[in-house]
Chains A and B, each alone.
Chain A
């Protein structure tokens, strides 16, 4: 197992390097420049700017310097747009915000989703099942960019219970709406996957045997059915977790949270090269890490899986 993890981590290095190279190339070929304005920047001013940010060097040189700084000093360079800040500072500000509402959304989505899905399966074809299916279908077809304004309309404008945006260091009243808006569709997916997988497991031979030998239903479900039923859910949770903690642009834009999703999109639009790269690498590393975690979790859940 340990060698497997070590091997996977080693493979991550060339993967991340390839990510850097591809990102560099894509940015090189994208039209536009971080310094472009409608007014137009005089040539000598542009030259000063390009020298300051090293854009007067060749692509290979820039890539080399970049990788060297990242590897040796963990330095992702200065932002081209936020002139008095570095990429590290921007990530340090935005990522904790996203991580906070992401983790909360994850907890909510898993707890509600699994419970709803499991109950629906256990009470198959009952009113409860239909209600659960109805809720999940509803939640699925309401994407967060529709959810967010509806929530603000209800809880901020009509009821006046919660602020319509902002973060204020993560005070609870500022976290609630983003978490609801972000978790809803994940919750729906988790509930649907749990339900169908649970149905399958409940009909499996060993569950029937367990019930036949007279075990109480509760014990059958928790001891025998739930764990194997979780396998497909877990494989969904890995990417879903990365998706939630790397931030949703919609959530960040709608709720002005200051999270990292907005930095990512703004930097792409403004051609803030170093910020795009920094965040891409961060997201890449997180994706690799959590996919590994999912694979390890597999082995724990299903003893038949061995690496």
Chain B
């Protein structure tokens, strides 16, 4: 979402004026299939399709097809115009004026106006809506957002106004050069006021919903499937090739794989852990592994009541060095994941990883260093509690790492698995020594990772704290080119071993070879079906 590197005004203005952008970019020499449909597997049912109430990925994938924000992403994840044709920012990036396209229409034929955005954004913030994602509006830095959410200001004081039908002006409390990128997220999609007011909670039902994206909702059967068809009113409808989208909810991943192999749908993501090598061999033109902006790591508890030994940097380093990451990526996961030595995923845009010393060593060298550090720390007798949320691959990884620690350092580890809600509770309360954790970037920029390890951050449950690191991240927030700070922050993190990075995610999926236009380069796994097309089978 927030893409600093792209956000110079010129790049966006150029995109806005550079002629019409095609939705699906079909090369001249391909023969399109007669039936243009796209179907995919969803792991879980989306709880809602209300853009302002949605708080998770499954829902935002669907909302992205049904609603279009001011800006959207292209197949590489670059920001391109959506409903807006472009925008202007003032000198210090606190005021943005978006121009909306003339031909943007709702699925009932109404024009999409600036007022639709004002209504939707106020709706997201107001306490009456009780949106679990209201904080996103606060995150954008729009004037009065925090006060409105807390109930201390009226919703209409939010820093967004419709100057006229086609002009939207946004006022921020602090400079946010990447604000336009934030408008591509589901929460800031427009909604059709008359429809929401007429039907209340039921406005998202297929028979009531009015949307402005490339597709309109046809059917939702909870825990079974959802279906949408092409929206003839969409401003770029003539370039939308796929006529129908179906998402099937299939919880069990091996069942999902069997059904994909039986040809029931096009896209299967993710595939069962460890099955990638077999699938790649069996379906070489359908199995893919691309980088995915998420990092897997272990938090070490640094709170007052945590074991003293964990507060010794030598112990933390020894524990980290003793983890043979290649066994985890190459023997357990086997899906193109890479060993992690930095917290930030190496595929993050503009990230220059520092040279982490132990990343270049052999595992034998790391083990030797670990044992030496362990002795220097007085060979503490440790019995650690490692918590993870119930999942087969988390269990495998925890078992392997606990074995490595026991064999190399003599550390006893008690594994405790718990289901997700309980795990969150226990982690938040700090009732652990080591906690399996993972973080996925909200936007393609290193700060989305590094910021969560600052001392006061909600997600920093291990409570690792380093003033130098905090200061660097604060500096980075206002810097024009913060890459140097990010590199240094990673260096500090590694020298102090605030967390144990384990591996960097890959998006491992199966895609029917006749389906083209899928954004392989988008590390945020964000896709728009309007860009896809299906070629005829040879």
Interfacial chain B residues near A269, Cβ < 8 Å: 419-421
Number of interchain pairs (Cβ within 8 Å): 139
Determine whether the beta carbon of A256 is less than 8 Å from that of B251. Answer: yes
Query: Among B50, B250, B255, B264, which residue has its beta carbon within 8 angstroms of that of A149?
Result: B255
A262 at the interface (CB under 8 A from B): yes
Determine whether the beta carbon of A164 is less than 8 Å from that of B421. Answer: no
- What's the Cα separation between A42 and B131 when bound, in Å? 12
Known: A45-B149, A156-B262, A269-B419. A40 touches B50 (CB 8 A): no
- B 213-245 binary contact with A (CB < 8 Å = 1; else 0): 000000001111100000000000000000000
Known: A31-B425, A149-B255, A258-B222. A48 touches B201 (CB 8 A): no
Query: Among B221, B250, B459, which residue has its beta carbon within 8 angstroms of that of A167?
Result: B221
Residue among B53, B130, B203, B204 having the largest count of chain A Cβ atoms under 10 Å = B130
- What's the Cα separation between A245 and B277 when bound, in Å? 41
Interfacial chain A residues near B264, Cβ < 8 Å: 156, 163-165
Determine whether the beta carbon of A271 is less than 8 Å from that of B421. Answer: yes
Residue among B55, B222, B225 having the largest count of chain A Cβ atoms under 10 Å = B222
Interfacial chain B residues near A51, Cβ < 8 Å: 127, 130
A37 at the interface (CB under 8 A from B): yes
Interfacial chain B residues near A32, Cβ < 8 Å: 420-422, 424-425
Segment 250-264 of B: residues with Cβ below 8 Å from A: 250-252, 254-255, 258-259, 261-262, 264
A263 at the interface (CB under 8 A from B): yes
B469 at the interface (CB under 8 A from A): no
- What's the Cα separation between A93 and B219 when bound, in Å? 13
Known: A31-B421, A31-B422, A263-B223. A152 touches B134 (CB 8 A): no
A85 at the interface (CB under 8 A from B): yes
Closest residue of chain A to B221 (Cβ to Cβ) is: A258
Known: A157-B261, A164-B262. A84 touches B201 (CB 8 A): yes
Segment 385-434 of B: residues with Cβ below 8 Å from A: 419-422, 424-426, 428
Closest residue of chain B to A269 (Cβ to Cβ) is: B419
A112 at the interface (CB under 8 A from B): no
- What's the Cα separation between A250 and B117 when bound, in Å? 43
User: How far, in Å, is A249 (CB) from chain B's closest CB?
Assistant: 10
B132 at the interface (CB under 8 A from A): yes
Determine whether the beta carbon of B259 is less than 8 Å from that of A156. Answer: yes
B residues contacting the other copy or chain, number (CB 8 A): 50
B458 at the interface (CB under 8 A from A): yes
- A 125-154 binary contact with B (CB < 8 Å = 1; else 0): 000000000000000000000001100110
Interfacial chain A residues near B255, Cβ < 8 Å: 148-149, 152, 164-165, 254
A248 at the interface (CB under 8 A from B): no
Known: A153-B258, A160-B262. A45 touches B132 (CB 8 A): yes
Query: Among A78, A84, A165, which residue has its beta carbon within 8 angstroms of that of B250?
Result: A165
Interfacial chain A residues near B104, Cβ < 8 Å: none
Interfacial chain B residues near A84, Cβ < 8 Å: 48-50, 53, 201-204
Determine whether the beta carbon of B132 is less than 8 Å from that of A166. Answer: no
Determine whether the beta carbon of A149 is less than 8 Å from that of B254. Answer: yes
A94 at the interface (CB under 8 A from B): yes
Determine whether the beta carbon of B251 is less than 8 Å from that of A253. Answer: yes
Known: A42-B135, A93-B221. A83 touches B259 (CB 8 A): no
- A 257-293 binary contact with B (CB < 8 Å = 1; else 0): 1110011001001110000000000000000000000
Closest residue of chain B to A255 (Cβ to Cβ) is: B255
- What's the Cα separation between A36 and B53 when bound, in Å? 15
Determine whether the beta carbon of A166 is less than 8 Å from that of B225. Answer: yes
Closest residue of chain A to B50 (Cβ to Cβ) is: A84
- What's the Cα separation between A242 and B426 when bound, in Å? 36
Determine whether the beta carbon of A164 is less than 8 Å from that of B258. Answer: yes
Closest residue of chain A to B56 (Cβ to Cβ) is: A37
Interfacial chain B residues near A270, Cβ < 8 Å: 421
User: How far, in Å, is A212 (CB) from chain B's closest CB?
Assistant: 57
Interfacial chain A residues near B55, Cβ < 8 Å: 37
A209 at the interface (CB under 8 A from B): no
Interfacial chain B residues near A259, Cβ < 8 Å: 223
Closest residue of chain B to A79 (Cβ to Cβ) is: B47
Interfacial chain B residues near A69, Cβ < 8 Å: none
Chain B residues within 8 Å of A, Cβ to Cβ: 44-45, 47-50, 53, 55, 127, 130-132, 134-135, 138, 146, 149-151, 201-204, 221-225, 248-252, 254-255, 258-259, 261-262, 264, 419-422, 424-426, 428, 458-459
Closest 5 CB pairs of A and B: A32-B421, A40-B458, A52-B130, A258-B224, A164-B259
- Given contacts A165-B248, A166-B225, list 5 more A-B pairs with CB under 8 A: A36-B424, A40-B458, A41-B132, A45-B132, A84-B204
A-B contact pairs, 16 of them (CB 8 A): A30-B422, A37-B132, A39-B458, A39-B459, A40-B428, A48-B130, A83-B47, A83-B201, A84-B48, A84-B202, A149-B254, A156-B259, A164-B259, A165-B248, A256-B223, A256-B249
